[in-house]
Structure 1
Amino acid sequence: MNDHAEPGSRHAGADPVNEQPAAETSSRRQHPERRLHSLRGRLHHHRERVRRKPAMNLTYRIVLGTVGGLVLLAGILMIPYPGPGWLVVFAGLGILATEFAWAHRVNMFAKRHYHRWTRWLGRQHVGTKLAIMTATGVIVLVTLWMLGMFSTIGGWLGLRWSWLASPLFGP
């Protein structure tokens, strides 16, 4: 390695990507944070203006509650399936928590117990983990069958098996 650093090199205190001195890049890194605070400040200011008008405040809370409730419901429906079910639940509760204190308490409760569950599951024997995975798979298969997905896919493949028909939606 060369003991003499060239101007603009990493050893001279420069950012290797932008080839800028370290002092300049550190001030740039703070800029998006300042933008975030100003965006947060603008949003807070806007929310306070809305809060001063009772009709607009009620409308805002209804819309936010509806959107947050729909996201939360979608997340709850997604929990047993592979994918981001719990993430969507926490997002829905987070949306609701911006306006409703009960949603914040429920969100903290759910996160705490979710983390407890994942830590407990991580400590379990492989057989227990496989049993839980099997139960989850059975839940997924039963709900897909009840929603008629097997008969739909069977129809695409030309299979007309009566046992694939959904008990809810018929053949």
Structure 2
Amino acid sequence: MVTKRSSVDPIAAPGPPKVAVRAAEKRGYAVPMEQHDRSGRPAVGDGTPERGAAGVALAERRRPRWRQRLSLTLDLIRANPTGRIALKIFVAIAGAIVVTVGAALIPLPGPGWLLVIAGLGIWAVEFHWAKRLLAFTRRNVQSWTRWVTRQSLGVRFVLGVVGLVFVAAVLWLSLKYSLGIDVVARIMHYLATH
């Protein structure tokens, strides 16, 4: 049984904004009209057989509305040749800035690796190599996290101590060789004089 959802139904996947579609079509650009879920299948509400209310609700939870709007906006920008080039340039520059700042912060305590991964996420909007590298990183971080959580409390404690010692050593070496501040020598001098 094939039924179509009414345009008033709040569960149906929203279509492209009509004003943007009309403007793009008026300029002669092709605008994708069907919405797709993550698997690449057309979403419910586009004339395909329904999967039931539970399937629609689950699909809506998997892909938030803001992501659908962002995806649609990016599709509209990519429909325009100038927009496509401008988007690639913008994404390349924004990703490079975030990755560079993250790489500079890696030796310091803070979100260095997090910023590098965020920069990869920005690049993944337009570049397939970044999407593959981000998926590889995600897989390895998840497998490492699963391995650590399976270990005993003692092993996790040792891993935490090793991580803290590593961060402290990197911080000490960074301050000593980049800013000329030897924290260990100052602490030893302070303890000797007080």
Residue 135 of structure 1 corresponds to 166
Residue 78 of structure 1 corresponds to 105
Q: Structure 1 unaligned segments of length 5 or more: list them.
A: 1-26, 154-160, 162-171
Q: TM-score, normalised by structure 2?
A: 0.50
Aligned length: 121
As a proportion of its length, which structure holds more helix?
Answer: 1
Q: Structure 2 unaligned segments of length 5 or more: list them.
A: 1-9, 15-63, 184-188, 190-194
Q: Which amino acid aligns with 2:169?
A: V
Deviation readout 1:18-71 (Å, 9 max, x if unpaired)? xxxxxxxxx6xx99x65764454233212321xx24xx6445423321220221
Whether contact under 8 Å (1:72, 1:88) holds in the other structure is yes
Give the deviation of 1:84 after TM superposition: 2.4
1:114 to 127, 132, 141: 141
Distance 1:104 1:35, change over 3 A: closer
Give the deviation of 1:120 after TM superposition: 3.8
Q: Give, in whole Å, the separation in 2 of the partners of 1:70 and 1:96.
A: 11
Residue 48 of structure 2 corresponds to none
Whether contact under 8 Å (2:77, 2:84) holds in the other structure is no
Percent identical pairs in the alignment equals: 29
Structure label with greater radius of gyration: 1
Q: Give, in whole Å, the separation in 1 of the partners of 2:66 and 2:145.
A: 36
Distance 1:48 1:94, change over 3 A: same
Report the RMSD for the aligned CA atoms in angstroms. Answer: 3.3
Deviation readout 1:99-133 (Å, 9 max, x if unpaired)? 11000001111122222333444432423431231
